[in-house]
């Protein structure tokens, strides 16, 4: 057994599963901010019920997502001690900021928001949700800062065989950062919008008593997903120029820049295969195909007029069938970004085989099996809980229920919007 291959498979499994939770978290929290803001401004109880319903799904995903993130963090010290030792002084700085400033604040705001229903003023309660959303975006930003440094190391110098940070501002102006951040955020909005649209479509096909409620969330989800797919495509294609400039080998080694860079690496690090595996371009190609396929949302958008999307019914089924596509696309995008810089863990600076910890292959295999089973269990638990609470409807979600109020009967009806 190959220790390096096992470690890479383990990191791929943990990072992929965690990224799915992140996409739902970023997408749903943005929609929640809009729903609760609408409730505060209009006083319409429908927006309160929608906030409680979707907020409950958000909390489930967030809690289990934390567990997957903790599991993933273990790997840096266990499997990749060479990475921590050589570039930890630079790579660790944005990760520390993400943990101390973004994640802890986000968890604090979320806890106060969950338990603040009917205890805080509505404006203060909404401000907490804005804090959750802003810190969630800040968390994603600092993670992308760290990842972008691995894609394009900047603002450092090597002393005594260890990389040291010399220019913090260079991390924030990294050419690999901002377009990627926009791409990730828009992909999360697409995922959240599609989830909202698909769940709403499911209830509408079943003739739910809460027709007006899910009609509203269907419209919000479709509009969000449609606008987001445009942003996803824009940020995605805009990266080709910058990525090709900083990583000439990412799309193959046929360009003069790539050939010159490979010749330089061969002279400095010795002979080797400095081109990424075919998997990187395959992931990129299928991601682009999914992006074009989801572009058909622009054809569904006009069907919101006079509720043709509901009257025809088949667009509702299309939304439900298409729900897995954004999740598949974000994994393929991650594969294209991460595998595309191979064989480097820090591009042109540290090879993957130099970053691995000296661990026995059997121990690594045991770790891979254990981590995979744990993450698989968390993912299955998350989707079972999400499906169960989504199917229960929005009659009276547990989140935000007054302490003295018993659960409402699920048959409560509400007139449709006109």
% the chain with pLDDT above 70: 96
Structure-token pair, residue 400: 């935000």
Cα dist. 278→49, 248, 250, 334 in Å?
48, 15, 10, 14
Report yes or no on 404 lying in a domain.
no
Q: Which domain holds residue 98?
A: 3-391
pLDDT of residue 119: 92
User: Which residue did the predictor score with more confidence, 35 or 104?
Assistant: 35
Question: On the CB side of 104, how many CA atoms lie within 13 Å of its CA?
Answer: 7
Report yes or no on 405 lying in a domain.
no
pLDDT tops 50 at residue 418 = no
pLDDT of residue 414: 45
Q: What is the pLDDT of residues 310-320, one digit of tens each?
A: 999 999 999 99
Report yes or no on 408 lying in a domain.
no
CA end-to-end distance (rounded Å), the chain? 64
Cα dist. 312→213, 270, 300, 316 in Å?
19, 63, 11, 8
Cα dist. 384→244, 329, 368 in Å?
41, 22, 24
C-alpha span between 27 and 90 (Å, rounded)? 29
Report yes or no on 360 lying in a domain.
yes
C-alpha span between 281 and 276 (Å, rounded)? 9
Q: What is the pLDDT of residues 114-165, one digit of tens each?
A: 999 999 999 999 999 999 999 999 999 999 999 999 999 999 999 988 999 9
Report yes or no on 410 lying in a domain.
no
pLDDT of residue 295: 94
Average pLDDT over residues 179-192: 96
If 0-12 CB within 10 Å is exposed, 13-18 middle and 19+ buried, where does residue 344 land? buried
pLDDT of residue 412: 44
Q: What is the pLDDT of residues 333-372, one digit of tens each?
A: 999 999 989 899 999 999 999 999 888 889 999 988 998 8
Mean pLDDT of the chain: 90
Q: What is the pLDDT of residues 363-373, one digit of tens each?
A: 999 988 998 89
Confidence (pTM): 0.92
Pick from 179, 281, 278: nearest CA to 236: 179
Report yes or no on 91 lying in a domain.
yes
Average pLDDT over residues 12-27: 92
Report yes or no on 289 lying in a domain.
yes
Q: What is the pLDDT of residues 56-102, one digit of tens each?
A: 999 999 999 888 887 777 777 788 888 888 988 898 889 888 888 77
Structure-token pair, residue 310: 């509901």
C-alpha span between 130 and 113 (Å, rounded)? 10
| Residue 131 near residue 109, CB atoms below 8 Å | yes
pLDDT of residue 410: 46
Report yes or no on 400 lying in a domain.
no
| Residue 386 near residue 20, CB atoms below 8 Å | no
The total of structural domains in the chain comes to: 1
Q: How many helices (H) and strands (E) does the chain have?
A: 16, 4
Q: What is the pLDDT of residues 227-247, one digit of tens each?
A: 999 999 999 999 998 898 999
Q: How confident is the model at residue 407 (pLDDT cuts 50, 70, 90)?
A: low
């Amino acid at each position: 057994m190959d220790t390096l291959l096992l470690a890479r498979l383990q990191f791929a499994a943990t990072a992929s599963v965690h990224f799915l939770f992140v996409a739902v978290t970023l997408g749903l929290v943005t929609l929640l901010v809009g729903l609760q803001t609408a409730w505060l401004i209009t006083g319409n109880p429908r927006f309160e019920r929608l906030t409680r319903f979707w907020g409950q799904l958000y909390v489930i995903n967030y809690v289990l997502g934390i567990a997957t993130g903790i599991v993933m963090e273990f790997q840096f010290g266990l499997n990749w001690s060479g990475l921590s030792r050589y570039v930890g002084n630079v790579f660790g700085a944005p990760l520390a900021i993400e943990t101390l400033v973004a994640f802890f604040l986000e968890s604090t705001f979320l806890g106060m928001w969950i338990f603040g229903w009917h205890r805080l003023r509505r404006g203060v309660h909404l401000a907490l949700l804005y804090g959750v959303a802003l810190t969630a975006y800040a968390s994603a930003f600092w993670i992308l800062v760290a990842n972008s440094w691995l894609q394009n190391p900047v603002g450092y110098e090597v002393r005594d065989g260890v990389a040291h940070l010399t220019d913090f501002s260079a991390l924030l102006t990294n050419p690999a950062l901002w377009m990627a951040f926009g791409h990730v955020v828009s992909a999360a909005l697409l995922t959240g919008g599609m989830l909202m649209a698909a769940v709403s479509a499911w209830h509408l096909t079943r003739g739910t008593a809460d027709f007006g409620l899910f009609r509203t969330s269907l419209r919000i989800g479709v509009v969000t997903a449609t606008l987001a797919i445009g942003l996803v495509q824009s940020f995605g294609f805009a990266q080709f120029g910058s990525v090709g400039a900083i990583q000439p080998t990412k799309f193959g080694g046929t360009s003069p820049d790539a050939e010159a860079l490979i010749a330089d690496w061969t002279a400095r690090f010795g002979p080797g295969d400095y081109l990424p595996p075919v998997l990187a371009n395959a992931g990129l190609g299928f991601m682009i195909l999914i992006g074009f396929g989801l572009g058909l949302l622009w054809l569904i958008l006009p069907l919101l007029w006079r509720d043709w999307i509901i009257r025809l019914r088949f667009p509702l089924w299309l939304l439900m069938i298409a729900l897995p596509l954004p999740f598949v696309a974000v994994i393929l995008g991650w594969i294209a970004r991460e595998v595309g810089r191979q064989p480097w863990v820090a591009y042109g600076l540290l090879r993957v085989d130099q970053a691995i910890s000296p661990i026995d292959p059997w121990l690594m295999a045991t770790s891979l099996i254990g981590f995979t089973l744990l993450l698989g269990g968390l993912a299955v638990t998350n989707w079972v809980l999400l499906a169960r609470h989504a199917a229960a409807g929005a009659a009276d979600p547990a989140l935000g229920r007054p302490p003295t109020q018993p659960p409402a009967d699920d048959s409560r009806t509400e007139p449709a919007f006109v």
